[in-house]
Amino acid sequence: MNPASDFVMVANRLPVSRDDEADRWVTSPGGLVSALVPILTAREGAWIGWTGAPDDAPPPFEHDGMRLIPVPLTAEELESYYLGFCNNTLWPLYHNAIRTPAYHRHWWRPYQAVNARFAEAVAETLNPGGTAWVHDYQLQLVPGSLRSLRPEVTIGFFLHIPFPPVELFAYLPWRTSVLRGLLGSDVLAFQTEQSVTNFRDAALRYAGATEPPGREGELEFEGRRVRLQWAPISVDADAFESAAGRPAVIDSAERLRERIRPARKLMLGVDRLDYTKGIDHRLRAVQTFHERHPEAARDTVLLQLAVPSREEVIQYAEQRERVERLVGQINGEHGDPGYTPVVYMYRHLGFEELVAAYLAADVMLVTPLADGMNLVAKEYIASRTSDDGLLVLSEFAGAAAELKEALLVNPLDLDGLAETLLYAVTISREASASRMRPLRQTVREYDVYRWSRNCLEALES
Ligand code: ADP
Ligand code: F6P
């Protein structure tokens, strides 16, 4: 029996990871966890999720003031539910099918089973009349199952990735079940207005939901109201700004700049190595920049930091090979013993190292082909301690709806992106400051704490 709570967070992963050497749990980094820890602590809430290791189901435990309730996943379920249905069906489909999604019934059934297990764990944990806040594409059936088990509770759902246009979503053989699962929620929140519209269209067409007259932003489903919310997630802007002011971070940023001399400008890319992030297109644009504008390009270095991700999925392994081949090509074609055009690191960086890189970068390149939000763009802006620095941002990142003063690009237009790079590294200080100033204001004003308040207010009003 799980300890009972009035408020439960539900996500595929728990907000901790295991440090086996030190024999302890470590709180995961990131704004989402920082924003939710105080909420969970104040409400004596619980977080239900997977520990990150197969067949691992320790009993509920406390960590950093949070009550954590592990849900077990077997090694087979990791293959079929997580790598299969989540990362080979839903992930590519929801990211505009930029890789071909695979549809397998032997992945769908484990997806249903795992979602049912999560819903049961929530139903066991939640006090009468309590609130569950369910997160992301791995758990889309949880609201519906929980609604059947516990009709009286309040259920919120937040989708961290895009909801695809109805023409694409229509391909999913289990589209109606997924919609019915999501429609078990009281409030369904999305990163962009476009995702809200896409979901509404799909729910009207394939799940029999209706739009109550005169009630914008709501659907009616099985006699209940479901509210649709646009709630763009953000970062802990204060944490980045204050780290960027620490002497040790300023020193590492300085050292980083000195090491890349004699290049004049540092361009930076920071991504999970995911094919949605457009790292290969970015590199090809940098290659084009060197071919078309060799003098200006030679005054730059691209530092590309890539964090390993989902390495067991074939498309990710292929993407890594593609990226590493391109880095080799560019350095082979345009480098010499005194100059390396692209410095590439494939590893996880510590928080302060990351902020130092943001601080050192003259131009930040965030060029995904599709992205729910893209927190890296907001982290870069939050780390600026003055109005210098420039953000080149894909119009296909959710963040583009808010960060309008960035240099917005279509990352597939390699020639256009190469010209934007030339512009970005030669722009005057005043022109770049007139872009960075309002961006800093936006990110400071709308941080992750405001996001979580907005979501919870919608859920509890
Ligand atoms: P996604 O959720 O798809 O991974 P986001 O850009 O929203 O994309 O979030 C990525 C997170 O991963 C950011 O918080 C970023 O700081 C972190 N990150 C990316 N690359 C690295 C790296 N090399 N080292 C450490 N953290 C990284
Ligand atoms: O952006 C979607 C997301 O699932 C995040 O929630 C998560 O941090 C990231 O992708 C990495 O995913 P995974 O849990 O599959 O390693």
pLDDT over threshold 70, residue 261: no
Q: At what angle do helices 279-292 and 314-334 cross, to 10 degrees?
A: 10
Residues 30 and 163 in one domain: yes
Q: How far is the CA of 6 from the centre of ligand 1 (A)?
A: 31
b/e per residue 181-215 (b: at least 16 CB within 10 A): bbbbbbbbbbbbebbbbbbbebbeebbebeeeeee
Q: How far is the CA of 87 from the centre of ligand 2 (A)?
A: 10
CA dihedral for 27, 32, 34, 39, sign (positive or negative):
negative
Convert the pLDDT of each residue in 146-181 to its tens digit: 999 999 999 999 999 999 999 999 999 999 999 999
The dihedral region occupied by 33, where left means phi > 0, alpha psi between -120 and 50, and beta the remainder, is: alpha
Ligand 1 atom closest to Cα of 274? 3
- Backbone phi and psi for residue 245, each to the nearest 5 degrees, phi listed first: -95, -5
Residues 129 and 258 in one domain: no
Domain, as residue range, for 190: 5-233+449-460
Cβ atoms of 228 and 209 within 8 Å: the answer is no
Residues 345 and 420 in one domain: yes
Residue entry with tokens 């435990």: 61
250 CB less than 6 Å from ligand 1? no
- Residue 39: band (very low, low, confident or very high) from pLDDT cuts 50, 70, 90: confident
Choosing from 136, 159, 272 the residue with most ligand 1 atoms within 8 A of its CB, the one to mutate for a pocket test is 272
Residues 141 and 261 in one domain: no
- In this structure, of 21-30, 174-183, 327-336, 355-364, the range with the lowest mean pLDDT score is 21-30
pLDDT (0 to 100) of residue 184: 98
Rounded average pLDDT over 306-311: 94
H runs (alpha helix) in 2-104? 31-42, 75-77, 91-94
Convert the pLDDT of each residue in 181-193 to its tens digit: 999 999 999 999 9
Residues 310 and 366 in one domain: yes
Tell me whether the omega of the peptide bond preceding residue 262 falls within 30 degrees of 0, making it cis: yes
Residues 224 and 308 in one domain: no
136 CB less than 6 Å from ligand 2? yes
For residue 173, the domain's CATH number is: 3.40.50.2000
Percent of the chain with pLDDT over 90: 90
Q: How far is the CA of 35 from the centre of ligand 2 (A)?
A: 17
Choosing from 73, 89, 160 the residue with most ligand 2 atoms within 8 A of its CB, the one to mutate for a pocket test is 160
Mean pLDDT (the chain) is 95
DSSP 8-state code for residue 371: B
pLDDT over threshold 90, residue 259: no
374 CB less than 6 Å from ligand 1? yes
CA dihedral for 132, 137, 142, 145, sign (positive or negative):
positive
Rounded average pLDDT over 254-259: 92
Secondary structure E strands in 231-286: 265-272
Residues 440 and 453 in one domain: no
Residues 186 and 317 in one domain: no
Residues 221 and 281 in one domain: no
- In this structure, of 45-59, 91-105, 221-235, 435-449, the range with the lowest mean pLDDT score is 45-59
pLDDT (0 to 100) of residue 35: 81
Residues 380 and 421 in one domain: yes
What is the number of other CB atoms lying within 10 angstroms of the CB of residue 134? 30
Q: How many domains does the chain have?
A: 2
40 CB less than 6 Å from ligand 2? no
Cβ atoms of 442 and 426 within 8 Å: the answer is no
Percent of the chain with pLDDT over 70: 99
b/e per residue 420-447 (b: at least 16 CB within 10 A): bbeebbebeeeebeebbeebbebbeebb
Q: How far is the CA of 164 from the centre of ligand 2 (A)?
A: 17
Cβ atoms of 393 and 436 within 8 Å: the answer is no
Rounded average pLDDT over 354-363: 97
CA nearest ligand 2 atom 14, residue: 13
63 CB less than 6 Å from ligand 2? no
What predicted TM-score, i.e. pTM, was given to this entire model?
0.96
Which H or E run includes 117?
helix 105-125
Residues 255 and 402 in one domain: yes
pLDDT over threshold 90, residue 425: yes
pLDDT (0 to 100) of residue 1: 65
Choosing from 79, 310, 311, 375 the residue with most ligand 2 atoms within 8 A of its CB, the one to mutate for a pocket test is 310
Residues 261 and 368 in one domain: yes
Please give the Cα distance from 162 to 159 (Å, whole number): 7
